[in-house]
Amino acid sequence: MKTKALLFILCLVCPLFSLAQRSVTVEEQNVAFKHGIHPGLVLTIPEVSLQTVQDSWIKLLEKGTNSKVQIEEDEMSIFGAIIREISETSVNVYSKLKDYDTAVHLLVSYELKKDEFITQNSAGEEFNKARTYLVNFAKEQYLSLAEDQLKEEEKKLKGIEKALKKMKCQTKKHDKTIRKANKSLQKLNDEVATAGTSLSSLNTELALQKSQYETMTEGAAKDEKQKFIASMEKRINKLSRDTEKNEEEIADLKAEVEEVQNKSADIIKEQEELKEKLQKQKDIVASFNEKVRNIKAM
């Protein structure tokens, strides 16, 4: 009855912090091993994988001692472990892990002497030290995971920022292309307009010269007139060809401007979508930063 009451109290007071409905808890309860049932502690470590916890736990148990952890199926044991954070003398540690959807449970029994296990009643000082020891272990595991999660989200954020920066550069490049094309269009349109005026005048003058030529008598003067008319026709033909070429170039430039404007419009639309995504990712990074701070503050 006393043990049940103690468990109830521990369940109420042992949650050490909560983040996104995840908690680290330490509860005192009996742990069933193959060789018997012993008093122990159950540590809840949120989110971290069982394999990660197991590897870190074994490494921690073997630290500072020549003893090695023995593994038999799902149970781990080490004899003569040196854990100064708990006891000045060596201890035997029996432990095992259980995997749940959102957390891993580490079940541990500490044996000070043969059949003398750490409990709150029989070894209060060692019990509190053992509890703190487990809490620190859970904190390290959870913090390491949270920091990795933060790095991953920060990496995503940098990727979005990089993509957005690239889009801005593309938009600037498109704007420059459009400005350059419009400047060329203005020049070509002016040339076509000027050529049109010149052609109109030249054709009128050519018609007049041909009319005069028809009324002239044969001779040197008429021959000179013919040469002048031929020169005018040549000039008109060249101006017409140049105008036609300019008009083709105008058509090409207009098509290019339209294509670039369409691309730019698509990019601007993508930019707006990416800006929304950027803000959401910033919020995610902020939440993971808060998660890391909360774990560190426990």
CA–CA dist 30, 45 (Å, integer): 19
- For 127-174, the pLDDT digits (tens) are 999 999 999 999 999 999 999 999 999 999 999 999 999 999 999 999
Q: Give the pLDDT band (50/70/90) at residue 11.
A: very low
Using a pLDDT cut of 70, give the percent of the chain over it. 93
Query: What token pair was written down for 96?
Result: 């095992």
Q: Is 139 helix (H, G, I), strand (E, B) or coil?
A: helix
Q: What is the pLDDT of residue 20?
A: 55
Length of the chain (residues): 298
Q: What is the pLDDT of residue 1?
A: 35
Using a pLDDT cut of 90, give the percent of the chain over it. 83
What's the sign of the alpha-carbon dihedral 175, 180, 185, 186?
positive
> Is residue 68 scored above 50 in pLDDT?
yes
User: Which is nearest to 134 in space by CA: 27, 5, 31?
Assistant: 27
- Round the average pLDDT of the chain to a whole number and report it: 90
H helix or E strand, kind and range, residue 178: helix 124-215
- For 12-60, the pLDDT digits (tens) are 333 443 335 378 999 999 999 999 999 999 999 999 999 999 999 999 9
Could you tell me the pTM of the whole model? 0.73
User: Which is nearest to 131 in space by CA: 37, 46, 39, 26?
Assistant: 26
> Is residue 226 scored above 50 in pLDDT?
yes
> Is residue 241 scored above 80 in pLDDT?
yes
Three-state DSSP string of 83-106: CCCCCCCCEEEEEEEEECCCEEEE
Q: Locate tokens 């149970």: which residue?
A: 75
H helix or E strand, kind and range, residue 72: strand 70-72
DSSP state of 68: -
The shares of helix, strand and coil residues in the chain, as percent rounded to the nearest 5, are 65, 20, 15
User: Which is nearest to 126 in space by CA: 90, 96, 94?
Assistant: 90
Show Cβ contacts of residue 293 under 8 Å, excluding neighbours closer than 6 positions. Answer: none
Average pLDDT estimate for 111-138 = 94
Q: Give the pLDDT band (50/70/90) at residue 3.
A: very low
